[in-house]
Structure 1
Amino acid sequence: MGVGDWVRSWPVLRQLSGADPLGRGSAAQSARSKSLEPRTASADRVVHSVCPYCAVGCSQKVFVKDEQVVQIEGNPDSPISRGRLCPKGSASKQLVTGPQRQEKVLYRAPYGTQWQELDLSAAMDMVADRVLDARRRGWQDTDEHGHPLRRTMGLASLGGATLDNEENYLIKKLFTAMGAIQIENQARI
């Protein structure tokens, strides 16, 4: 790059000599920044979601390419956040794509002495099977007088104080829908 090219590439010179005297448009762009394309431009589809962190419920646009999340941004159509996300919400892409995300679980079989690695989907299937089995075995359709109960005594829930409002709400709805009546939270004990 010669001296003349360097001077022409200097933003202040482009700002003073061009049509952008305030330096808010083309004068502030380098050749590299002009050639950049947003990650969202190459997305195959956009999936609407809600930020998982707090009780505000900011709407998000999740940009997906080849079934992989490429970007998560605020949804400008949301009446709640109007497209804005807090720092945690802005970093929520790391929640689903970060290298620290666990994709295996450790499992020790009953009476086993060694831990073994299981795929996360296999572990979730095991949990679902056991929940359904406990629900079925503890099911009470009626009491001894024939009054309808439609409940299970095979399940109970004890929520923790580190769960947020949404998690506690969903746990309560889930266990109630499964027929459990023993639903409690650490905060009440």
Structure 2
Amino acid sequence: MAGPKFFLQWPVLRQFRSGDLLGRGPAVTSAHTRAIEPRTSTADRVVQSVCPYCAVGCGQRVYVKDEKVVQIEGDPDSPISRGRLCPKGSASEQLVNSPGRQTEVLYRAPRATQWQKLDLDTAIDMVADRFIKSRRYTWQERDEQGRPLRRTMGIASLGGATLDNEENYLIKKLFTAAGAVQIENQARI
């Protein structure tokens, strides 16, 4: 049989005793809930950042503990987002902490069945060499009537929304300057 102390812990009685008549404060929180501490309170530092997903540029507060990102929240000081983040922005902590995140350059040669690791400088040189070669061999200076084209149809770009708007802007300028006309971005599609 339950004693009188048990009945005093009923939520309705706690509401009246604590003055929390609407049941939105201390009357409805358990001892376990009151003991929980947010990850943000133990962070070593807070770094201001911008959400990398789209061109809106929502402000973020990145909480770092032991040089590891532990939480990302909206920045209430941001005049753009005023502390709010969309679901993708709220989950952006997973970009850096996901166990499936690739941290090394992998390359699979033509007709190979296995991936091999490459150092970044080698991979960048390979991409640059192929970019220049493709542009050189697919360059179209003029059409059949002699009108100027100055383009290449052998290079295309599909940007991603995990790059910020400044990076996508620079990629667009690079590909346009190289003569590519097939330039698209996943955020616009």
TM-score by length of 2: 0.67
Q: 2:157 aligns with which of 156, 159, 177?
A: 159
Aligned partners of 1:50 and 1:36: how far apart in 2? Answer: 28
Task: Read off the aligned partner of 1:158 and give its amino acid letter.
Answer: A
What is the CA deviation profile of residues 74-113 of structure 1, one whole-angstrom value per residue up to 9, with x for unaligned ones?
A: 000000110001111111112221233233443245x784
**Structure 1 alignment gaps of length 5 or more:** 136-155
Partner of 1:13: 13
Deviation, 1:128, is 3.5
Aligned partners of 1:98 and 1:8: how far apart in 2? Answer: 46
Cα contact 1:44–1:65 (8 A) shared by 2: yes
Deviation, 1:4, is 4.0
**Structure 2 alignment gaps of length 5 or more:** 132-153, 185-189
Deviation, 1:69, is 0.8
Q: 1:124 to 1:184 in 2, by over 3 A?
A: farther
CA-based RMSD: 3.2
Q: 1:126 aligns with which of 102, 122, 127?
A: 122
Partner of 2:94: 94
Cα contact 1:50–1:59 (8 A) shared by 2: yes
Aligned partners of 1:131 and 1:107: how far apart in 2? Answer: 11
Cα contact 1:159–1:168 (8 A) shared by 2: no
Aligned partners of 2:170 and 2:4: how far apart in 1? Answer: 64
Q: Identity percentage over the alignment? A: 54
How many residue pairs get aligned? The number is 159
Partner of 2:114: 115
Asked if residue 185 in structure 1 is aligned to residue 182 in structure 2, the reply is yes
The structure showing larger relative contact order (alpha-carbon pairs under 8 Å, at least 6 residues apart) is 2
Deviation, 1:158, is 2.7
Aligned partners of 1:73 and 1:42: how far apart in 2? Answer: 15
